[in-house]
Amino acid sequence: MKIKYFLFLLTLALTLGLAANADTDTTAPSAITNLAVATTTVSSVTLTWSAPGDDGTVGTSTSYDLRYATSSISDSTWTSLTQATGESAPKIAGSSETMTVSGLSSSTLYYFAIKSKDEAGNESNLSNVANGTTLAPPAPTPLPGTTVEMDVTPPTLNLASQGQWVSVHLSFPAGCSASAVDLASIKLNGTLSADSNFKGVDKFEKGKSDKGKSFSNLILKFSRAGLINLVGAASGAFNVTITGSINSSTCAIKNFSASDKVNILSIAPEPDNTLVQATSSPDVFIIINGHKRHIPSPRAFARLGFKWQNIKKISQAELDSYLDDELLRASNSPDVFIIVGGLKRHIPSPEVFNSYGFDWNNISVVSPQDLADYLDATLIRAAGDSKVYLLVGGKKHWISSLDVFNKHGYNWDLVIIINSTEKDAIGEGEPVS
């Protein structure tokens, strides 16, 4: 009887002692400080962290509460976040923890934070906030039998630099007019739409390099941030595919797709006024407002007071990450010029400017002397048209035959391809004979 009574008292004491300890446990687990995104997929993000403990950094806590959102996280937004499910029981303090959050949207930036609790219900402070972007869905397979060409500009995106737009140039074969493309149907990797404020037609480089290309060219602008999200914002080379449709009775293609490769790198951009040159090219550029401006000649280089020993050699990939500073205006004139292949030509009207999908915010103001460094473009032809014209005194003069072209010693390499809007805006003079 005495033994039973003793055991009863002992059990009662232990129970009361545990209850007293629980009532007096006011030390919360320490906040997790190393929450990090380890890997991402199209629909999931895997996170890692170190177990915090029970009382501060000692022992084992009881539970985790992991939450996420598509905007930044703070204590004030905690209750409105989406709560993850399936958190495992915490391990002993200092142990490595991992968890995969599934069911997420592709190409989306997510933010994550976590708290832990102990057996007394004490909750830790908010952890550090980790973020990661889910991957884009696989690029659609290009449709067989289509002959649409695609070029992304710039071909290299530097994550460390600034920029709002990426241009996509689509070249269509004979009989398919770029103006007949259904803009609403255009999707990049099946997801990203083009910006409807910018739509350009037939902006090519120079006559020799483009004379064998397709007859019609469409220029569209896409969000730079949106494209980076599509490819997962990691360094490397990624294929992107564009799909769309053409509403034209003369075009054999009704639905099309085309692909190009985009390079992603992350290096500190060069400061403004830095002279740069790719290791594989003699062309020298100066960085202006995050763009590269070609210095057209040694004479211009010397006039500007530059020194050859100050040129910085960079990789072609880094050089390609800078957009060209191609729209210039002299400080003493409202006239806007476009620089193509080191040659300048006057853009005769706002309608012509807009027909190329240009952005008025991208015009650089330079001194009259800087503008004069560029030779004038004097030979033009419209895309899809074999006629070559001589530009003189603001008028175009048809060079009536190949014999006439050769007789005057004209150079096909200096022929600039323009669109029909620009061609029609230039007055016509007497043919060259």
Distance CA 105, CA 90 (A): 28
pLDDT digits (tens, 9 = 90+) for 27-61: 889 999 999 999 998 899 999 999 998 876 778 88
* Residue 66 predicted with pLDDT over 90: yes
- Is residue 23 within a helix (H) or strand (E), and if so which, with residue range? helix 2-24
C-alpha 118/C-alpha 19 separation (Å) is 15
Higher pLDDT, 54 or 224: 224
Share of the chain above pLDDT 70, in %: 89
The residues spanned by each domain of the chain are 36-133, 149-265, 275-428
Determine if the pTM surpasses 0.75: no
Query: Average pLDDT for residues 377-392, to the nearest whole number?
Result: 88
Average per-residue pLDDT in the chain? 86
Topology at the third CATH level for domain 149-265: Immunoglobulin-like (2.60.40)
Q: Worst-scoring range by mean pLDDT, 169-178, 237-246, 323-332? A: 169-178
The token pair at 109 is 């930036």
Tell me the pLDDT tens digit for each residue of 250-289.
887 888 888 899 998 889 999 999 999 998 889 999 999 8
Name all contacts of 152-156 with Cβ < 8 Å and 24+ positions apart.
Answer: 152/240, 152/260, 152/261, 152/262, 153/323, 154/320, 154/321, 154/322, 154/323, 155/260, 155/261, 155/262, 155/263, 155/320, 156/262, 156/263, 156/264, 156/265, 156/317, 156/318, 156/320, 156/321
How is domain 36-133 classified at the architecture level of CATH? Sandwich (2.60)
**Per-residue CA distances from 3 to 9, 13, 16, 126, 132 (Å):** 10, 15, 20, 51, 63
Residue 219's identity, in one-letter code, is: I
- Residues 267, 268, 271, 275, Cα dihedral to 10°: -30
pLDDT given at position 147: 77
Higher pLDDT, 328 or 139: 328
In 3D space, the residue among 229, 28, 34 whose CA is nearest the CA of residue 129 turns out to be 34
Report the pLDDT value the prediction gives residue 12, as an integer from 0 to 100.
Answer: 47
Instruction: Write out pLDDT tens, residues 181-203.
Output: 999 999 998 889 999 888 888 78
pLDDT of residue 419: 87
What is the rounded distance in angstroms from the CA atom of residue 246 to the CA atom of residue 234?
33
Residue 308, pLDDT > 80, answer yes
Cα(395)–Cα(159) distance, integer angstroms: 44
Residue scoring higher pLDDT (432 or 4): 432
b/e sequence 252-289, b meaning 16+ C-beta within 10 Å? ebeebbbbbebbbbeeebbeeebbbbbeeeeebbbbee
Instruction: Identify whether the C-beta of residue 319 lies closer than 8 Å to the C-beta of residue 285.
Output: yes
Dihedrals phi, psi of 414, to nearest 5 degrees: -100, 5
The DSSP 8-state label assigned to residue 342 in this structure reads: T
